[in-house]
Each structure stands twice: as C-alpha cells, then as structure tokens.
C-alpha cells in the first residue's frame, strides 16, 4: 500500500511548526495507518497527533499539539492511499470504453469506489460493496453517496452492467437508506434497452423499494464514434419526448405520494425534444446540478443576478476536508499561468461553446439585450456521435474553428472543458491559434465578462 505523501505545508501551520516538509511520506498517525483522506481527516482532527514519517532514507517522528479540529495544514498527494477499487462491470454504455487511444492514462480508470462517491460525487453501482464497507459508511456517516441504478429489475440491471452481481447489489442501497444515509441515484437511459416500459418499471420500483432516495436523475446515453456496441445509439426526438412524458408523470406521482418530485430529467432531454425547461422551483434546490439536471435554469438565474440562484453543488465532505486533492472534474480548470486575453474592451465578442450550449446561450443573451454577442457552436469531431456538451470540447476542435476566425475579436471559452489548463485531447490553451479568455462556467462570471458589450 503506497504511503500518503505531503505535497504542500501551509506556513505557520501546526504541521509546519512540527517540522513536516513537502515530500514527507506519512507512515502512521497515532499508531494507525490511514487508508484514505477520510481516515486521515478523522485522525488529523485530534488535539494530539503523532506522525511517523519517512523522509528520504530516514524515519522520523513528529508530534503535533493543537486545538481539536484545527487543520494540520498539509495537502496530501491523493485521496486514496490504498488502491482505488476499480469497476468490474462491463457496461456497453460506459463512456470510458468509447475513448480513443492515446489520451491521459487517468481518463481510462474505471472506479466503483464508494469513497470517491463520498469525496467527489462519483457514481457507484455498489457491485463491489461489502458488509465491511456498509459498517464503515454507517459508523463514519459517509453521506451523501451517489448510486447508479439504471434499472430496478434484477435481470435487466445485470444485463446492462454485464455483471451478475448487478442483479443483487441494490440490496446495499436498501441497507444504506435504512441507516439514514443520503443517496442520490442515476438512471442512464439507453434507447431500446431500459427506456419505455423498463423505465416506467424502474421509476415504479424506486417508489416501491427506495422512496427515501433524495433525488434520482434520468440522463441520456452519450455515445462517441469510437463505440463498438451495435446496440447503443442516440435517442431520437420522439424517444426523448417519451422519456420526458414518463418522468413528468412519475414526478406528479412522487409529489402526491412523498411530497416531492424525487426524479428529474437531464437538460439534454428538453433540448432533444425541443421543449422549454421547467421553471427554477421545479428542481427543488438543484441537487444534481453537476449531473446536468437544471443547469440551464441555474445558469439563467446566475446570469440575471437573481438571489434565487443561491448555492448549489453536491456539497459534503470534499468541500472542507483538509488535504483532499482536487481530482477529476473538480480539478482546477487552470493553473493560474495560462494565457488569457483580458482587457480587450471594445472588440466584438464570440462565445465558444458546445452545440447544446448554443441552444441555451443564444436565446438567453438575446433576451438580456446582448444580441451583438456571437455564440459559436463548436462541433465535436474529436468524439463524434451525439457528444455536444461544452464540457467535452477539445483543443483540436477549438483549433479547427479558431484558425478560420479573425484576430480582432474577444473569444470567451467556458472553463469546464479544461483540467489544469489542458483539454481532454492533451492540448493546452497556449497551443490554440487564437488567444482566448477562460471564463468560469456560471452565469454571473459570463455577465461580468460581457460588461460593456451591449
């Protein structure tokens, strides 16, 4: 088991006063070996923390005395110190199987680790969940968790996961709910597989068996040109309309039965069906905002400066845990050294976005009086298929578009397509043929970037 490594020590922190340094490896804390940043945090909260560390060839002991709960002041190299619990399902709709070769190794890692669900909001199928995991979740109140349901029919679920344990692993969902753990569910709908009567059966099964779920998101299958699964295909418009009708019907049933809607359809379904998004209060707090539920309405509220926008996001442990590294889609979008083209007031503005982003932004800007702002959709040739979200835009597609555009404009780019200044295809901002301004992916940030352009 690799040891957690200290990557940064805050000045004047308890860890700094105790002599800890970047590069130190933590061997134990108060005689125990932490398996992950969750256990690390529990141990670090103690008023007296004795650390055994390895520094090069030397083994050292550092004793930290501080008020209980005061941070040690160090950042750890990873969230998990033992091995990530990888996924042993073989879902035909899994997007990792649809990635081309040659991308960053981390993009090909399939995890099914409840700890990453707790820390970062990753979805887990619970097929590798155990009795010991259940005991730990309950004892340490690791809540909320995020569970991939897909189907409540055991046969259908096992077939979709291509794992016979998929037929029985939702028993852990029932046990977690019985223990009062907050759970958010997800159903990825694959046309011809778990839509239609199967989706109806799934939502009825949630009401019958898992009514304590906080939310359940119904999201469409994303399929790239690299998929080798013949049965997987994009939704047609009538199929998207049928999914919305099913979700709407069950929302009313849930509201009458439970006093809340519980199930929500992804924004993509409304775009595919050509329907207006529901009003903001329909989303009951935007609990699955980052899963594409209510993103458009939330963005509209932020852009207008409405106080109703409030705070959204998954919340939970990762927001305050000391030392937890920013990973996955929560990694910093830029590293602070990326080139931007700020301060170019007076020049016409072009917003670069995905094809779905255009459908949201163009009418919003026109209503707000920003008709002179160009919204340019960037077709996703890199992934192909039905991939049209802004978060999957790549450097190569942006380069293709920017190379044909004039230099005397401001080009705004949402930051959600970047991770530490790098696109999914490995290109960096500095490699684009035109300088761009990276704008945080919320409505308020876009409004600030557009000041003076009406």
pLDDT digits (tens, 9 = 90+) for 214-254: 999 999 999 999 999 999 999 999 999 999 999 999 999 99
| Whole-number pLDDT of residue 329 | 56
Task: Read off the tokens for 302.
Answer: 């932020």
Which residue, 285, 319, 353, sits at the end of a domain? Answer: 319
H or E element, residue 198: helix 196-209
Same domain, 315 and 338: no
* Residue 87 domain flag: no
In eight-state DSSP terms, residue 220 is E
Q: In which band, very low, low, confident or very high, does the pLDDT at 332 lie, cut at 50, 70 and 90? A: confident
Neighbours of 110 (CB within 10 A): 15
Whether 313 is in a domain gets the answer yes
Residue 315 pLDDT grade (very low, low, confident, very high; cuts 50, 70, 90): very low
Count of C-beta atoms within a 10 Å radius of residue 311: 7
Assigned domain for 454 exists: no
pLDDT band for position 330 (50/70/90)? low
Q: Which residues of 142-180 are buried (b: 16+ CB within 10 A; e: fewer)?
A: bbbbbbbbbbbbeebbbbbbebebbbebbebbebbbeee
Mean pLDDT score, 338-364: 81
Do 167 and 290 sit in the same domain of this protein?
Answer: yes
Same domain, 219 and 150: yes
Given 297, 319, 341, the domain boundary residue is 319
The pLDDT score that the predictor gives to residue 290 is 85
DSSP 120: H
d(CA 227, CA 224): 6
- The pLDDT tens digits of the residues spanning 263-273 come to 999 999 999 99
The domain total for the chain is: 3
pLDDT for res 343: 47
The verdict on 295 and 342 lying in the same domain is no
pLDDT for position 344: 56
- pLDDT of 259 higher than 80: yes
Alpha-carbon span 82 to 44, nearest angstrom:
18
pLDDT at 339: 44
Can you give the pTM of this predicted structure? 0.91
- Alpha carbon 141 to its chain centroid, in Å, reads 21
pLDDT at res. 108: 86
Q: What gap in Å lies between CA 5 and CA 74, rounded to an integer?
A: 10
280 and 154 housed in the same domain: yes
Q: Which of 42-46, 149-153, 206-210, 375-379 has the lowest mean pLDDT?
A: 42-46
**Do 265 and 403 fall into the same domain?**
no
Question: CB-based contacts of 128: which residues, under 8 Å, 6+ apart?
Answer: 85, 87, 88, 112, 113
Whether 239 and 371 map to the same domain: the answer is no
Of the candidates 71, 7, 13, the residue with the CA atom closest to the CA atom of residue 40: 71
Burial class (CB in 10 A: 0-12, 13-18, 19+), 90: exposed
Q: Which residues pair with 350 in a beta bridge?
A: 374, 411
Is residue 47, in this structure, part of any structural domain at all? yes
Domain assignment of residue 168, given as a range:
95-319
Tell me the pLDDT tens digit for each residue of 394-451.
Answer: 999 999 999 999 999 999 999 999 988 899 999 999 999 999 999 999 999 999 999 8
For residue 300, tell me if it sits in a domain.
yes
């Amino acid at each position: 088991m690799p040891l957690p490594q200290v990557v940064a020590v805050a000045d004047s922190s308890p860890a700094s006063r105790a002599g800890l340094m970047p590069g130190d490896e933590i061997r134990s804390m108060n005689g125990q070996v932490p398996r992950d940043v969750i256990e690390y945090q529990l141990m670090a909260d103690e008023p007296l923390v004795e650390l055994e560390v390895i520094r090069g060839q030397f083994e050292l002991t550092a004793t930290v005395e501080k008020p209980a709960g005061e941070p040690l002041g160090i950042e750890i190299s990873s969230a998990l110190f033992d091995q990530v619990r990888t996924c042993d399902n073989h879902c035909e709709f899994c997007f990792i199987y649809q990635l081309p070769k040659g991308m960053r190794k981390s993009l090909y890692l399939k995890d099914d680790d409840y700890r990453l669900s707790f820390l970062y909001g990753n979805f887990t199928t619970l097929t590798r969940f155990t009795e010991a995991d259940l005991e730990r979740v309950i004892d340490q109140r690791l809540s909320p968790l995020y569970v991939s349901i897909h189907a409540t029919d055991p046969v259908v679920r096992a077939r979709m996961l291509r794992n016979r344990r998929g037929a029985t692993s939702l028993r852990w969902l029932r046990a977690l709910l019985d223990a009062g753990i907050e759970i958010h569910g997800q159903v990825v709908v694959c046309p011809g597989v778990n839509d239609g009567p199967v989706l109806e059966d799934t939502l009825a099964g949630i009401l019958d068996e898992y009514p304590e779920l906080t939310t359940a998101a119904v999201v469409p299958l994303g399929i790239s040109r690299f998929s080798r699964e013949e049965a997987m295909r994009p939704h047609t418009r009538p199929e998207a309309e049928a999914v919305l009708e099913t979700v709407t019907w069950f929302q009313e049933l849930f509201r009458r039965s439970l006093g809340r809607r519980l199930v929500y359809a992804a924004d993509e379904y409304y775009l595919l069906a050509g329907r207006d998004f529901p009003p903001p209060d329909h989303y009951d707090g935007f609990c699955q905002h980052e899963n594409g539920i209510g993103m458009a309405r939330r963005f509209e509220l932020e852009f207008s400066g409405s106080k109703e926008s409030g705070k959204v996001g998954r919340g939970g442990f990762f927001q305050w845990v000391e030392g937890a590294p920013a990973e996955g889609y929560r990694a910093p979008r830029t590293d602070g050294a990326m080139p931007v083209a700020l301060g170019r007031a007076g020049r016409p503005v072009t917003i670069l976005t995905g094809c779905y982003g255009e459908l949201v932004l163009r009418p919003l800007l026109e209503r707000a009086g920003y008709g002179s702002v160009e919204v340019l959709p960037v077709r996703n040739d890199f992934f192909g298929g039905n991939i049209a979200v802004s978060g999957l835009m790549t450097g190569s597609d942006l380069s293709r578009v920017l190379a044909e555009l004039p230099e005397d404009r401001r080009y705004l780019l949402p930051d959600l397509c970047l991770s530490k200044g790098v696109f999914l295809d490995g290109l960096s901002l500095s490699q684009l043929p035109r300088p761009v301004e990276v704008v945080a992916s919320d409505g308020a940030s876009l409004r600030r970037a557009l000041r003076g352009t009406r």
